[in-house]
């Protein structure tokens, strides 16, 4: 048997590396996350939107950053010879959509989206090549309070999915502040964005490799020391009026316990212009849970007039692993609690009609479709995840009753047909 199974498995066409099959158990978690994202987004007055999954390569070439565009994106020519990219992120699409209807839209836009993205990276724990992301953005408002709304939404999301402020934190910085500080160290122009990259890699490189990389960029010992001192200064935010207002607005919205300043947060993408933030698990066992920030030049970069924007994106993979690791994985099956059996051939139509009647009353009902032995049907009901099984035999039909068996307790009783839907609604509520 075992050898037979192996022989069969060997012939099965394999899934593409880095993709994920969502069997119902995994899909229930993804859909649960999507529903929580919807709930939080809508509670703050954000509207759902979506862009295409295929975009022109030029869209990303505009601003996404060399690594993402040149190394990680899926690019190919379609049958018409057009150069297509599977979207590696949503923000450039958002910028394109805003630019396309720039004069017709009412600002600020508060928009959110959930969908698939692709990056050709080495698959590993917490990273797949095909993954899902929640994106949420406010477009058309440039203020610390707008940034704070997004950070508050992020905190509200963490809370909604069951992560406490002791388990996950949102770390915030501001690129304008960092730019001013770097300038006072004599780091400006093209070198500044290289040094932003260096700061972003602080946690990813060893101390030696990091120092080495700094020297390669041309930083002298005093500058390296200056940068390191900067990254250790937890009070740096007090120099920024923008961050002061940001933290006041976060506090007013009850999210202060989730949000704190962190001078090493800078983000990898090129297009951020002001506030930036990332969420991390406090135990430090996972990659960043999500990140975002202000990007005021992107609509302009894709051909529109300048319009300020702020937003963030949350992938589904790391967060699912984190919830699992912390014991917060949701208990979701989505299965129908009611199972209608078929007593005999003559009763088939009556059983199908009973299931139809209960569905019309808003209940979730699985129908057995042939007159198997009742024990077999009970077993199948149990494996399907049902809580109660209904039996409609000739006696029940004659008396206008239905037998209701509770699969957990084993109790069985008769309920009148007229009261059945109401009784079962109580049960599955």
Look at the chain and count its residues.
429
Q: Looking at 118, 134, 246, 272, which residue binds a second copy (CB under 8 A)? A: 118
Q: Looking at 37, 64, 65, 96, which residue binds a second copy (CB under 8 A)? A: 96
Q: How far is the CB of 200 from a second copy (least distance, A)?
A: 23
Q: What is the spatial distance between Cα 279 and Cα 171, in angstroms, rounded to a whole number?
A: 6
Q: Looking at 43, 324, 416, 425, which residue binds a second copy (CB under 8 A)? A: 43
Q: How far is the CB of 416 from a second copy (least distance, A)?
A: 21
Residues 128-147 that bind a second copy (CB under 8 A): 129-130, 141, 143, 145-146
- Our finding on whether 156 is near a second copy (CB under 8 A) is yes
Q: How far is the CB of 10 from a second copy (least distance, A)?
A: 8
- Using CB under 8 A, count the residues that bind a second copy: 102
Q: How far is the CB of 62 from a second copy (least distance, A)?
A: 7
Q: Are 355 and 341 within 8 A, CB to CB?
A: no
Q: Looking at 89, 91, 111, 298, which residue binds a second copy (CB under 8 A)? A: 111
Residues 167-226 that bind a second copy (CB under 8 A): none
| DSSP structure class, residue 309 | E
Q: Looking at 192, 248, 260, 417, which residue binds a second copy (CB under 8 A)? A: 248
| DSSP structure class, residue 368 | P
Torsion angle of C-alpha atoms 184, 189, 194, 198, degrees rounded to 10: 10
Helices 207-216 & 189-200 angle (0-180, nearest 10)? 170
Three-state SS letters, 156-202: HHHHHCCCCCCCEEEEEEEHHHHHHHHHCCCCCHHHHHHHHHHHHCC
Pull the structure tokens for residue 350: 């009556």
Residues 277-306 that bind a second copy (CB under 8 A): 302-305
- Our finding on whether 79 is near a second copy (CB under 8 A) is yes
Q: What is the DSSP string of 250-295?
A: HHHTT-GGGEEE-TT---S-TT--SEEEEEEETT--SS-SEEEEE-
Q: What is the spatial distance between Cα 175 and Cα 273, in angstroms, rounded to a whole number?
A: 6
Nearer to a second copy (CB atom), residue 82 or residue 411: 82
Q: Looking at 33, 37, 51, 161, which residue binds a second copy (CB under 8 A)? A: 51
Q: How far is the CB of 266 from a second copy (least distance, A)?
A: 25
Q: Looking at 91, 169, 174, 253, which residue binds a second copy (CB under 8 A)? A: 253
- Our finding on whether 127 is near a second copy (CB under 8 A) is no
- Our finding on whether 377 is near a second copy (CB under 8 A) is no
Give the x-and-dash track for 343-362 against a second copy (CB under 8 A).
-----xxx-xx-xx--x--x
Residues 21-40 that bind a second copy (CB under 8 A): 21-24, 27-28, 30-31
Nearer to a second copy (CB atom), residue 383 or residue 426: 383
391-429 burial: b if 16+ Cβ within 10 Å, else e: bbbeebbeeebbbbbebeeeeeeebeeeebbeebeeeee
Q: How far is the CB of 8 from a second copy (least distance, A)?
A: 6
Nearby residues of 389 by Cβ (< 8 Å), 6 or more positions away: 339, 340, 341, 377, 378, 381, 404, 405, 407
């Amino acid at each position: 048997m075992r050898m037979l199974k192996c022989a069969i498995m060997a012939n099965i066409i394999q899934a593409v590396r880095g993709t994920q099959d969502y069997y119902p158990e995994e899909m229930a978690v993804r859909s649960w996350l999507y529903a929580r994202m919807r709930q939080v987004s809508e509670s703050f007055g954000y509207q759902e939107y979506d862009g295409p999954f295929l975009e022109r390569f030029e869209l990303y070439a505009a601003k996404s950053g060399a690594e993402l565009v040149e190394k990680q994106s899926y690019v190919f020519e379609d049958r018409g010879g057009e150069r297509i990219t599977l979207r590696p992120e949503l923000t450039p699409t958002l910028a394109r959509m805003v630019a396309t209807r720039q004069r017709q839209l009412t600002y600020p836009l508060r928009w959110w989206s959930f969908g698939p993205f692709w990056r050709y990276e080495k698959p590993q724990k917490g990273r797949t090549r095909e993954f899902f992301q929640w994106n949420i953005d406010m477009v058309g408002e440039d203020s610390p309070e707008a940034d704070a709304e997004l950070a508050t939404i992020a905190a509200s999301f963490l809370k909604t999915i069951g992560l406490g402020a002791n388990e996950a934190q949102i770390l915030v910085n501001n690129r304008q502040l960092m730019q001013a500080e770097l300038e006072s160290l004599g780091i400006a122009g093209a070198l500044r964005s290289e040094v932003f990259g260096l700061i972003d890699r602080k946690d990813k490189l060893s101390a030696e490799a990091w120092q080495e990389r700094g020297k390669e960029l041309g930083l002298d010992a005093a500058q390296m020391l200056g940068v390191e001192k900067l990254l250790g200064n937890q009070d740096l935010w007090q120099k920024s009026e923008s961050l002061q207002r940001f933290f006041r607005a976060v506090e007013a919205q009850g999210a202060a316990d989730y949000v704190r300043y962190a001078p090493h947060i800078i983000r990898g993408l090129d297009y951020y212009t002001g506030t930036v933030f990332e969420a991390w698990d406090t135990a430090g066992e996972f990659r960043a849970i999500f990140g975002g920030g202000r990007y005021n030049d992107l609509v302009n970069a894709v051909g529109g007039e300048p319009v300020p924007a702020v937003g963030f994106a949350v992938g589904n993979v790391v967060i699912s692993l984190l919830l699992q690791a912390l014991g917060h994985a949701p208990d979701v099956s989505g299965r129908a609690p009611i199972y209608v059996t078929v007593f005999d051939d003559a009763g088939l139509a009556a059983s199908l009609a009973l299931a139809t009647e209960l569905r019309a009353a808003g209940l979730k009902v699985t129908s057995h479709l042939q007159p198997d032995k009742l024990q077999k049907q009970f077993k199948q009901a149990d494996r399907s995840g049902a809580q109660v099984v209904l039996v409609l035999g000739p006696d029940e039909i004659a008396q206008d009753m239905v037998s209701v068996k509770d699969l957990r307790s084993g109790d069985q009783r008769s309920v009148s047909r007229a009261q059945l839907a109401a009784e079962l609604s109580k049960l599955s509520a």
